[in-house]
Structure formats: C-alpha cells, structure tokens
Structure 1
Amino acid sequence: MTLAKRSSRILEKAQQRVSGMQTIDQNLDFGHSNNLQNMQQQIEQLRAKLNTHNNALAVIDASRTDIEQLEKSLSVLCENMLMSVAGRYGKDSAEYVKAGGVRKSERIRKSTNTRIKTGAEQAAVKSDETT
C-alpha cells in the first residue's frame, strides 16, 4: 500500500487568485504585507514543502517495499533452515526445539481436540434432551 501524495486545494486556489489579481495590477499592494509578491512567495514556499513532503513519502514507500521483500526472504530462509534441521536431526529432536520448532510428539492438534470436545458437548445435549 503506497502512501497518498499530498496536494493542496488552498495552493491551487491561491494560484488562481494570483492569476486574477495580476490582471488587475502586477504590483498590487494593500499594505501590511498584503501584496502579490508576498502571496507568490508563500505559494512557492508551500509548493516546495509539498514537493519535499511527497519526495519523503516516495522514499518511505520504497523503504517499506524493501522491508517487506526482506521480511519475505528472511521468512523463507527461516523456514528452510528449520526444515533442514528437521531433516538432519528429526522433528522430535532437541536440536529441532533449539532451532525454534515444536517437537512432533508435543504438538497439540487443535482440530482433534475440538472434534472431541464438540462430540462430547453434543452427546451431553442429546442426553439432556432425552431425559
């Protein structure tokens, strides 16, 4: 998921207003820094900040993509290493546990336990219904 590039409606509106005001007078000045030159200067500052911001987002997106690729690569490597340990020492060995695996003899299969519990619960419900 890429980060959305930012734009500014205020910047677009200000650019349109500057264009309109320039048709009135190129040196329009109302005092107290209310003039076209100041407005154009602030427009350029905002445009530069937006460009800097969007460039930073692009760098972050590229970095995120690199991180995701490295995570996938590392995940595959970890899985391959664990399978290699299992192949050499067996899935029931102490070495397999040291490498991060769970011994086959200690693995709890939830589906089997769930079926047993569900079967017992259904039997209890049926016996309650018959009595």
Structure 2
Amino acid sequence: MARRKRSSPVLEKAVRRAAGMNSIDPNLDVGNGLTLPAFSTLIEKMRTRENAYNTALSNLDKLYSEMLQTERELADMAEHMLLGVATQYGKSSVEYGMAGGVPKNQRRKGLRGESLTPLSEQPAFVGNVEANGNGNKAAAKAN
C-alpha cells in the first residue's frame, strides 16, 4: 500500500493570498521585513520541500516493494535449498537438521484436543464459596 502523499492547506492558502497581494502591488512591503517577494520565496521553499518529501515517500514505497519481493524470493530459495538437502541426504539425516530442518525421526507427534500437560500436573481450581454460593463475601454478609 502506497504511503499517502502530503498536500499543505497552508501552502494553498498562502498561494491564494500571494496572488491577491500581487494584484495590489508586485513589490508590496507592509513593514518589519514582510514583503511580497520574501513571501513568494518562502512559498517556493515550502513547495520544494513538499515535493521533496512526496518524492522521498514514493522512493520509500518503491524500496519497500522491492524489499518484499526479494524477501519472497529469499523465502522460496531457502525452502528449495532445504528440500535439496532433504533430497540429497534424506529427511532423517543429521545434515537435514544442520540445514535447519527438523529430522523426521525427531518430530513430535501430538494428538488433537489433548493438553500437553497431564491432568495430574495441572493446578486444581480452589474457590472460596461463602453461604450464598457465588463466592461473593460481601453479598453473603449482607444477607
């Protein structure tokens, strides 16, 4: 998903104001260094920065998608390499385990729905039930 590019409402408003001020006087100076040419220069600086930012986002999107593609290729090749070792040495071999696979004879076979810890090792539930039968002491005392 491409990153959202930025557009500045402040920049758009400044461009409209500069156009209006330009119709008053192209060299408008309202004092304290506030001139239309300085305002126009700052508008162009902001426009340049915004374009640079949006270009950087596009480049980042491109790099990200290239990285994801390479990651898929790497995962595919890693799987093929492991299968190649399995073909050459067998899935029960030490070499297969060294390559990152789990040798067939070391795989754990679990049964569905069965807990991994035996019932004898599981903690028993111990509840504190008062006279009212729901475990709420305050309600039991109020009765």
TM-score (norm 1): 0.82
Q: Using the aligned pairs only, state the percent identity.
A: 40
Which residue number corresponds to residue 52 of structure 2?
52
Which shifted more, 69-78 or 100-109? Answer: 100-109
3-state SS of paired residue (1:43): helix
Q: Figure out how many residues of one structure are paired with residues of the other and give that number.
A: 118
The equivalent residue for 1:86 is 86
What is the deviation of 1:116?
Answer: 2.5
Q: CA RMSD in A?
A: 1.7
The answer to whether residue 11 in structure 2 is matched with residue 14 in structure 1 is no
Partner of 1:127: none
Partner in structure 2 of residue 117 of structure 1: 115
Please tell me the residue identity of whatever aligns with 1:54. Answer: N
Q: Secondary structure at the match of 1:115?
A: coil
SS in 2 for 1:116: coil
Distance 1:31-1:108 versus aligned 2 partners, 3 A rule: same
TM superposition outliers: structure 1 runs of 4+ over 3 Å: none
The one-character-per-residue Cα deviations of 1:43-69 (angstroms, maximum 9, x if unpaired) are: 000011111111111111111111111
The structure, 1 or 2, with the larger RCO (C-alpha pairs under 8 Å, 6+ apart) is 1
Return the TM-score normalized by structure 2.
Answer: 0.75
Unaligned runs of 5+ residues in structure 2 are: 120-143
Instruction: Select the structure of larger CA radius of gyration.
Output: 2
